Every structure is written in structure tokens, then in C-alpha cells.
Amino acid sequence: MSSIEELRARLAEIDDLSNAAELLGWDERVMMPAAAAEARADQLATLAKVRHEIFSDGRIGALLEEAEPEPGTIDADLVRVTSRDWEKTRLVDSELRAEMAKASMVAERAWVDARRESDWVALLPHLERNFELARRFAACYERFPGFEHPYDPLLDEFEPEMSTAQMRTVLAELRDGLLPLVAEIGDPDDQEPDHFRGEFAAGPQRELMKEVLAELPFPEGSWRVDETEHPFAFSVGHGDIRMTTRYDEDNLAFGLFSGIHEAGHGLYEAGVDPELARTPLATLRSLGLHESQSRLLENWVGRDRPYLDHLLPLLAERFPDPFASLSLDRVCAAANRVERTLIRTEADEVTYNVHILIRFELEVELFEGAVTIAELPKTWNARYRDYLGLDVPDDARGVLQDPHWAAGAFGYFPTYSLGNMIAAQLFDAARRDIPDLETRIAAGELAPLGEWLREHVHRHGRRLTPAQILERSGCGELSAEPLLEHLRARLAIRAPSSGAAGGA
């Protein structure tokens, strides 16, 4: 066996163990009987430990050294990407990893109670512990090439090879364009009423979702959709996409657009070149790029006029009240209402990014020492006042609303807005390359867009960075401007319809 063959065999086993863990995680959230929680935690910890031991073994390092792949081949990318992962893994000792896993598990449990009770003081020591561990984690990478800012190693966990400086530049550009737009939003009561709120039985919602997903360009027999409190999507191996959504009987938009969002993640996983299966190149590590695919499908397709044109008869068939009597204009306007609100997960497309900007700024300030964990509520509330003009009435609707920090996931938030920016750039490129794109979508044909995305984004897996993917798709460098332009257009949809609604 050559070095590269042995390397591939070992990496394939590691990938199998990762996928087994993914399936256990899926099952835990979708299928598992409640009494099994402790056993499942043990099983997941063991899989992580065994996987870590096999990957961090010196033999992998030796094989990476010995391998002499031909430049430009999959093997060359495999060695490059794996070498970086392997070197990173070796810098953090497994005891620290175990401490982090344990602390975040404890903190996440405490967060559930703290949010319910709006009790910041109860969560504070847990967040301080997580933050301290995150700083120790970051300190392990002191001499890692390319890391300059103390937040770099955190960000790198979710957005490999993107620096804090790059993220800060592009998010500042976004902020400068976005805050003036947000200031103009005005009174939500002047907009089209939200026709997606009302009474919508779960049964027909479920059928509608099956139909919507069946029209998407998934390989046959390669996915399933289930129901969970918090929707998610991931792959548990080649040919196996697991998506979830939740059917809210008061709010049709929630389940529908969550389902389409998760399908965007699912299509990305499904589109990876099968030749990358069972290698680290198939494990999509850039959350920004991943999120670009879900946002693109949810917002650039799902909430856009052509797709809603296709969707309206399906909606009207299952929910004649109100959809049988609504014009496409009014449905578009309802699907694109904009409102300054306190909760990130309920935010519309325009204000969503403001929630992210605030979190990103606070995270960077934390790691720069400009703010302490204890000062977070005060700083949070001030920033909501500044950026959204909102008073935060309690911490449950403020700094306690998200689980990320309790989960120890510092560095995760900015990838959401990164995803939005990349989506805007990619969709513009797809529209340029597919002249009849909107006509096709209005006819319910998602295949041309799916093919474009597979060709330019999905199939590459981790062989290309997000920057390379943008460059090669003709999008140029990462930029906030296409997203800002898209959001301006969104705000314009709302205005005429809002007038029409007012006149009705």
C-alpha cells in the first residue's frame, strides 16, 4: 500500500466514525426515547474520543509527510487540507477538549433554565468558564501560521482560513450600508398583513413540504425530512441527507421557509463530488459557504416572486383560506415583511444581519479585552438601542436568547451574515449565467439553478475556499454590496404592495 493509499484508508475510517456520530446526533434529536439520554451522551463521547485518537496519531502525520501527490489532483488537495487539520488537532490536548465539551454541556443545560427565568446571574459563571476555556483554546495556536488576532482560532473553527481582520472589514461594509436601510423601515402596520399567520393544520403543511422537496434537484432516494423543535440538516454519509423542519399551526411561513432553508443545506451536501466521499474534502467546513446555500434557497429563491408564483397554486390548493383569494403581489409582500424586533431567529432578511453584527462585535470585543462577560447585558442592550432603536426589556429577550455562547461556540455567529453576502454574490452570478433563470423557477424548474450551484459550489467540497469559489464563479472578491442591493430591492417590494394593501 502506498502512503497515499494508507492515508486514504485511515481517513475513510475517520469519516465513517464521524458519520456514525452524526447519525447518533440525528437520532437523538428526532427519534430517541427520552430515557436514553445518558447512554447516548456516553456513546457520542466515545466516538469523538476514538476518532480523535485515530486522527491525531503520529502515523497520519508521517503519511502526510511521505505522500507525494501530483499537483492539481484530489490527492494534492487532500494532503493540503488534512495537513492543516492534523496540525491544528495536535496543538490542543485532549484534556482541554474534554473540559470544553463538559463545560459547554453543563452550560447549555443551565442556559435552558436561565433563558426561561431571564436569569443572567445564573448563567454568568458558566459563560465565564466557557470563555476562559475558549481563551485557553485560542492560546494553543499562538504560533500557528496565519493566526494574528486572539479571535482568529475561534473563527477558524467555523470559517477555516478566514481572518478576523477580513471578517471585520466586510461586516463593517455591511453595517455601513445596512443601518441607514434599517432606520427607514417605519411602522410594520403600514405593510401588507402577514397572510402566513392564521390557522394551518400540520397535515397539509407536511404534504406541501414533501411536494416542495420532491421538486428540488436531489438525487433519487437520498434524503428524508422529519420534524424537530429546531430545524436542521446534515449528511450522515454519501446518499444520506437528513433534514428537519417544524410545522407551526399558527404560522405557515415558519415550517415552509425553514424547510426550504434546510433543503439548501441538504442540496449542498448532496452535491459534493462522489469521488470525495469518505475523505475530509467531503466534510464541508466553511459554515459561511454552507449558510450561503440555505439562505440562497430560502431567500433568493423561496421568498422571491418567481418561486412564489409557482408556489401560490400549491398553497391555495391546501389552504384556500386565505391563499385562493390573494394576488401574487400581496403574497410576495407578505413573505417579505420587515420589522425591527428583538429576537434573531424571528428576524426578517433585512434586520437579521443587524442581530449578527451586534454579536460579532461583542465577540471580538470580548477577545480583545474591551468588554467582559459580566458586561455583556449592558453592552448588548446599548447596541440594540443604537442599531435597531429597540429597548431590551429583559435578558431572555436580550443576551440570553441564543444558545451559542452557552455551547462554547464563540466565532459561529458571523458566518450567518457571511452566508448572506456569499448568497447574494452567487445568485447574481447564476442569474447572469442562466438567462431564463426566473422563468424556469416560476415554472417550478429548480434543476438549472441546482446544476449551476453543483458545478460552481457543491461539487468542490473543501477543495476550494469560499474566496476561490467566488472568484471562479465570476463574483470577484467577497463584498457586502450585492447583499445590500438585494435588501434594498426587498424593501421596495414591500412599499408598493403596502400601498395596495392600504387601498384594499
Please report, as ranges, the residues that interact with its own copies according to CB under 8 A.
Answer: 12-13, 16-17, 19-21, 23-24, 27, 31-40, 42-43, 45-47, 49-50, 54, 219-224, 236-241, 277-278
Q: What are phi and psi of 428, to 5 degrees?
A: -60, -40
Provide the 8-state DSSP code for 197: B
Kindly report the number of other CB atoms within 10 A of residue 323's CB atom.
Answer: 20
Per the rule left: phi > 0, alpha: psi between -120 and 50, beta: everything else, 444 is left
Cα separation, 136 vs 204, whole angstroms: 50
Closest approach of Cβ 111 to its own copies, in Å?
23
Residue 22 designated active-site? no
Cβ nearer to its own copies, comparing 23 with 434: 23
Q: Are the beta carbons of 347 and 387 closer than 8 angstroms? A: no
**Helix, strand, coil percentages, rounded to 5, for the chain:** 70, 5, 30
Closest approach of Cβ 9 to its own copies, in Å?
10
Cβ nearer to its own copies, comparing 236 with 338: 236
DSSP reduced 3-state for 261: helix
Cβ nearer to its own copies, comparing 16 with 211: 16
Of 467, 486, 490, nearest to 174 by C-alpha is: 486
Cβ nearer to its own copies, comparing 52 with 383: 52
Closest approach of Cβ 96 to its own copies, in Å?
20
Q: What are 124's three cell numbers?
A: 454568568
HSE-CB of 305 using CA atoms within 13 angstroms: 13
Closest approach of Cβ 48 to its own copies, in Å?
11
Closest approach of Cβ 389 to its own copies, in Å?
46
Cβ nearer to its own copies, comparing 19 with 473: 19
Q: What is the DSSP string of 16-27?
A: HHHHHHHHHHHH
Of 91, 81, 21, 80, nearest to 56 by C-alpha is: 91
Which of 22, 192, 262, 298 is catalytic? The answer is 262
Closest approach of Cβ 400 to its own copies, in Å?
28
Buried b (16+ CB within 10 A) or exposed e, 268-285: bbbbbeeebebbbbbbbb
Judge if the upstream peptide bond of residue 33 is cis by omega within 30 degrees of 0.
Answer: no
Which residues sit opposite 242 in a β-bridge?
224, 234
Cβ nearer to its own copies, comparing 32 with 491: 32
Cβ nearer to its own copies, comparing 221 with 369: 221
Cα separation, 177 vs 165, whole angstroms: 19
Closest approach of Cβ 226 to its own copies, in Å?
9
Q: What is the DSSP string of 480-497?
A: SHHHHHHHHHHHHHHHHH
Q: Which residues are catalytic?
A: 262
